[in-house]
Amino acid sequence: MTDLLRKDPGAVPSDLASCLASGPPRATAFIVTIYGDAVAPRGGVLSMRSLIEAGRAHGLSESLMRTAVSRLVTAGRLSGERIGRTSHYRLTEAAQAEFGAAARILYDPPVAPRGWLFAMTDAAPGEGWAEVASGLWAAPDRSDIDRPEGLTFAADVVAGAPDLPAFAAAHWPLDAVAAAYRTFLSDFAPLRADSAVLRDVSAEAALVLRLRLVHAYRAAALADPRLPDAALPADWPGAAARALFISAYLALSPGADLRIAQVFEDAQGPLPRETEATRDRMQRLGREAALHNITRK
């Protein structure tokens, strides 16, 4: 149970509270979610005090949050600076690049694969590639897939298309990703509610719900190899999970962004309610919702 529900059981409508009924998220991973969703598009710096308050709302103690921040500093993803009596933490350059790549998966329209890439190399070419034979690697041909320096081919399926799902399932963790999407759809099914219901929750509840929404969807979406549709099972849940994420994110964001401006701060003071980066994010999600007729009542 979150600290929000412990303090005020009525803070979230009862039909939405089940989204928060699970135990607290892992502190280190959750801090990554906080920075990626709320802090990175607002300058990338947050006070320790704000992090502690954000964690407390989700049932994470001050000691857990401090330990998790220390681990992220050791891992080179955050760097700290003490100003007066308060420590502030910013994303390192390496983390900014990592967060940018993750943000494109979460908040940008999906990049459609054009076909397949095959590379001949002894070393793994990078994320999204799978070794299909000794020294032969395959990946979906997308603009965001890194190409290795070695011999690489672009290919299309010219025969045996019905065997493509079996080929994909044998080389990418599609069962695990599908299970993660289905768990997300089940856990956050209450957020399919009329958008007016989500917009009417308090700003505090909106931020709590949005952070948990992003945290859960992020875990599934970042593991998804995003293969061509023809390689996926007929009951692939990715599109349904994407639709739920977009509709709930758009509905919760006015309140969530207001709460960020109320309780999150960097060395200069409160974080802004919105920035050019957050407005651009919302516009991209809105265009995707309109394109795919994702209902927002």
Neighbours of 34 (CB within 10 A): 23
For the chain, which ranges sit under pLDDT 50? 1, 5, 9-10, 297
Residue owning tokens 């995003």? 226
Longest Cα separation, the chain: 67
Predicted local confidence at residue 194, as pLDDT: 74
Predicted local confidence at residue 62, as pLDDT: 96
Predicted local confidence at residue 17, as pLDDT: 77
Measured CA distances, 76 to 92, 93, 196 (Å): 7, 9, 41
What is the H or E stretch that residue 5 is in? helix 3-7
* Structural domain spans, the chain: 3-110+174-291, 116-155
Predicted local confidence at residue 9, as pLDDT: 46
Angle at which helix 203-221 crosses helix 93-107, to 10 degrees, equals 90
Amino acid letter for position 86: T
Residues 145 and 128: their CA atoms lie apart, in Å, by 7
Residues 287 and 283: their CA atoms lie apart, in Å, by 6
Predicted local confidence at residue 5, as pLDDT: 46
Token pair for 37: 């969703």
What contacts 128, CB < 8 A, 6 or more positions away? 139, 140, 142, 145, 146, 225, 226
Distance of CA 39 to the CA centre of its chain: 13
Q: Is 0.85 surpassed by the pTM of this model?
A: yes
Looking at domain 3-110+174-291, its CATH architecture is Orthogonal Bundle (1.10)
Angle at which helix 48-56 crosses helix 238-263, to 10 degrees, equals 130
Predicted local confidence at residue 150, as pLDDT: 87
